Amino acid sequence: MNFSQAVERISQKVVSRGHAVERAAIESRLRRLVEEFSVPLDEAERTVTNELAREFSIPGLLPGGPGEPRTLDALAPGEWVTVECKVVALTAPPSPSVAQAGIVADQTAAVRFVAWSRANAPPLREGAWYRIESAVVDQYRGAPNLTITTGTTVTEIPEKGIIKPVLTPIASIRPGVVSVRGKMIQEWETTHERILQSGILADETGSVRFVTWKEEGRERLSPGVVYTIFYAVADEFGGRLSLTLNTATVVPEEGDIEVSVGDTSFEGALVHIAQGSGLIRRCPVEGCSRVLSPTNYCPVHEIQQNFQYDLRIKGWLDNGEETKEILIPRAATEALVGMTLDQAREIAENTPLGMTEIFLRFRDALLGRYFSCRGRDIDGRLLVSSCTPVRYRPERLADLLNRAGGS
């Protein structure tokens, strides 16, 4: 009979709570129960654990703690717990010291898990149910994380019922594992070679940025498409939430949803129009839409001849005290400059400067003028839904002259 693993599990539980206990003493208690009183080893382990819990006044180890399965919504950092849960996602281990990582779920919640290589736990299969005994709950980026260590026992069990993930409104997302239904409204140009895609998801309540890291089997989202996303990981950096989709099951849906247009407004002078404004070409590959270079080169799909045209304005508004980066998509650009996409294409195709002609016309018409723009503020950038020129207001003249010290 292998007493060493039971001794290890009990020892880790007690030591993690800041108490010292001799392994020989633990084994002696176990052997006495098993060999003298014929108590099964797992029952003897619970008995000794509870004796030590009472001896050291450790509430988390008392009856009703480690031996009784806990629901995932009740996990708290610092606990040793037993859970019965389903593996709903596996991801590539982040380092050689990690054997497996992913998401486990039950009927109440879903959490991240990690199995250390030195734990020698049996490999978990996606879709299978397990009883995980004596796992450690720690905290990772503000959310509980289940850790399988050398003291953890992992046993595959029959299915424990159907799991129905609860969808969370985007405005209510908190760090942890979440399921959401949202529409991809914007794609960002990637800033790292390991990123497959990043952009913005939105629903009726708000918006959140997302990222998908390059990994086998991961697919890109398509702008304008509504998705139900199960088991994404929400992390918080610098007070801003971001969804990582690598653990998620992503299901595209038919139809559309109304999304929050945001209620941030900013008024100021347009002090800069960036390159990449005006008439642009986008990659036609489904799910890409990256802006092509002047030679029609997509950084992912290389040269593309059957490109798609688009209109936009990238620039900066300045109100004298603050400068705000703005991105005006096609519909708002057409309304602002009074030029449709088809008109811009026709001009570009019939002038020597081509697409540069559109950029210059936008610059001449807009630069230095005052605008009031409204939209969604995302990471300091205003995604504009509407933008109108600021008209001269004679009632402000006296105030402006006084501030300027003139007369």
Condensed to tens digits (0 to 9), the pLDDT of residues 34-46 reads: 887 676 777 678 7
Does residue 261 surpass a pLDDT of 70?
no
Name the pLDDT band for 383 (thresholds 50, 70, 90).
confident
Give yes or no for residue 64 having a pLDDT over 50: no
Confidence of residue 63 (pLDDT cuts 50, 70, 90): very low
Query: Left if phi > 0, otherwise alpha if psi is -120 to 50, otherwise beta: which for 172?
Result: alpha
Token output for 259: 């999304």
pLDDT at 11: 84
Q: Is the pLDDT of residue 338 over 80?
A: yes
Decide if pLDDT at 223 tops 90. Answer: no
Residue 98 vs residue 142, higher pLDDT: 98
Q: What is the mean pLDDT of the chain?
A: 86
The predicted-structure confidence for 176-206, as pLDDT tens digits, reads as follows 999 999 999 888 776 677 888 888 899 988 8
- pTM greater than the 0.75 cutoff: no
Distance CA 45, CA 51 (A): 10
pLDDT for the residue 34: 81
Signed CA dihedral, 269, 273, 278, 283: sign only: negative
Helix ranges (H only) for 57-126 are none
- Which residues are within 8 A (CB) of 113 and not within 5 positions of it... i.e. 6 or more apart? 100, 101, 102, 103, 104, 135, 145, 146, 147, 148
Is residue 238 very low, low, confident or very high in pLDDT (cuts 50, 70, 90)?
A: low
Contact call for residues 207 and 185 (beta carbons, < 8 A): yes
The helix/strand/coil state of 328 is strand
Q: Are 140 and 112 in contact (CB under 8 A)?
A: yes
Q: Tell me how far apart the alpha carbons of residues 353 and 378 are, in angstroms, rounded to a whole number.
A: 34
pLDDT of residue 28 exceeding 60, the answer is yes
Return the SS3 of 228: strand
- 3-class secondary-structure state, position 297: strand
* CA neighbor of 332 nearest in space, from 359, 276, 283, 372: 372
